[in-house]
Amino acid sequence: MKVVKTNIPDVLIFEPKVFGDERGFFVETFRQSQFDELGINETFVQDNHSSSTKGVLRGLHYQIKKPQGKLVRVISGEVYDVAVDLRKSSPTFGQYAGVHLSAENKKIFWVPPGFAHGFLVLSEQAEFVYKCTEYYAPEYDRSLVWNDAGIKWPNVNADVKVSSKDAEALTFELAEKFN
């Protein structure tokens, strides 16, 4: 699996080898030994799967305590996925990394703990799956407003659909951050 670095050194894009023929394809989506070689000492404890329609923007979510690292990919459709660095001690604090994920390109995005995470659905429908390094803890769940972190979202218009929780998210300036 090829590892591609982003503008934030801790955020990575994985480009797996795809083995295909007229019957279909096979792809390995995770290998613990590769994470170990990269110095990513995380254990995954939860898998999630969401389905969304075009124009849905989910996020930017994070947990202020028990932060989650996420290994994300799309199995149907296409999204633009982002990670915003909320670690105050980081040289990339406040910056974001983004990538197009799709069923076609099969890219996988590693979002470490300490980042807000979200995605915008670009296709008519998308199915998004991800592994988490920490269990979901609603009491620590926070949202950073999607349009206040300088993110250049593709194809964003007035029809972006967000949840009521995300509509009430805090600006970057007011959001809780990590030390």
Residue 164 backbone phi and psi in degrees, to 5: -60, -35
Nearest-angstrom CA–CA distance, 123 and 131: 22
* DSSP E strand boundaries for the chain: 2-5, 12-15, 18-21, 24-27, 46-53, 57-63, 70-76, 78-85, 96-102, 108-111, 115-121, 125-132, 141-143
Catalytically active residues are 61, 130
Cβ(70)–Cβ(131) under 8 Å? Answer: yes
Strand partners for 5: 12
Residues 6 or more apart whose CB falls under 8 angstroms from that of 2 comprise: 14, 15, 16, 17
